[in-house]
Structure 1
Amino acid sequence: MLRLNKIHHIALICSDYKKSKAFYTELLGFTILKETYRTERDSYKLDLALNGTYTLELFSFPDPPPRVSGPEAAGLRHLAFETDDLEMAVATLREKGVRTEDIRTDGITGKRFVFFRDPDDLPLELYEN
């Protein structure tokens, strides 16, 4: 069996680099570890950390093809973040103009969660600890 230690990172390609950079850093609170512009690709690569742990790579490419991200589409379903205060997190998102669904309760775990979208319509979830 393959021996994996943990998930190393998640890579996202955005259509508007500045908008997505602000969303993930200024709104969601990721910190920038390194920002690289690759001239030969006309592309940025932004390495982001969450609470000191390298977590996310944000890429830009000229005219990336659209990806289906609707409910129940094959592939990545959503990216979930854990929070200790769901109401405060939802209020913060809404204050910043981010639409969220209503808070729901997971029928299996009994934990509360809510979905929202990033600037490229990628489904994101806040899951209460």
Structure 2
Amino acid sequence: MKYDHTAVQVSDIDASIEFYTTNLGLTLKSVEVSDSLHIKFAFLEINGSKFELIEDLRGNFKKPQLSAPFCPHFCFEVDDMDTAVKQLRDAGIELLSEPTACVAGEIFVYFKDPDNNVLEFIQWKD
């Protein structure tokens, strides 16, 4: 068995595709509609990992509630936290925490996508 992908529900798949490709560097692989399931879904990819966005075409969407410890969340490794945070701020993306250093040396920051799905950047200690 091997892990394949993660999926999140979104309210506007086109806006979410724009968010993830423009701000996080994911690549759009496919977009499809399932009439029987009443959904539109897209697969994106980054470094071989797949990420799925799903829009309920019946309008059944409720934004996730935001509260610490921000679980569940989806984490992306970055090489330079300062640069990554600056890019988020320059794009007007709301941070849910300031960059935080752990005792072991890694640094992390939480932020959200347009639908309140919690995302994390982490920079591991070299």
Residue 63 in 1 paired to residue 65 in 2? no
CA distance in 1, matches of 2:27, 2:63: 26
Query: How many residues align structurally?
Result: 122
Cα drift, residue 43 of structure 1? 2.3
**Counterpart for residue 39 of structure 1:** 35
Question: Normalization by structure 2: what TM-score?
Answer: 0.84
Q: 1:102 aligns with which of 98, 108, 113?
A: 98
Cα drift, residue 72 of structure 1? 4.7
Q: Which ranges in structure 2 are unaligned for 5 or more consecutive residues?
A: none
**Is the Cα contact below 8 Å between 1:47 and 1:54 reproduced in 2?**
no
Question: Normalization by structure 1: what TM-score?
Answer: 0.82
**Counterpart for residue 124 of structure 1:** 119
Residue 114 in 1 paired to residue 109 in 2? yes
**Is the Cα contact below 8 Å between 2:94 and 2:112 reproduced in 1?**
yes
Superposition RMSD in Å: 2.1
Percent identity, aligned pairs only?
28
Amino acid at match of 1:93: L
**Is the Cα contact below 8 Å between 1:71 and 1:77 reproduced in 2?**
no
Q: Which ranges in structure 1 are unaligned for 5 or more consecutive residues?
A: none
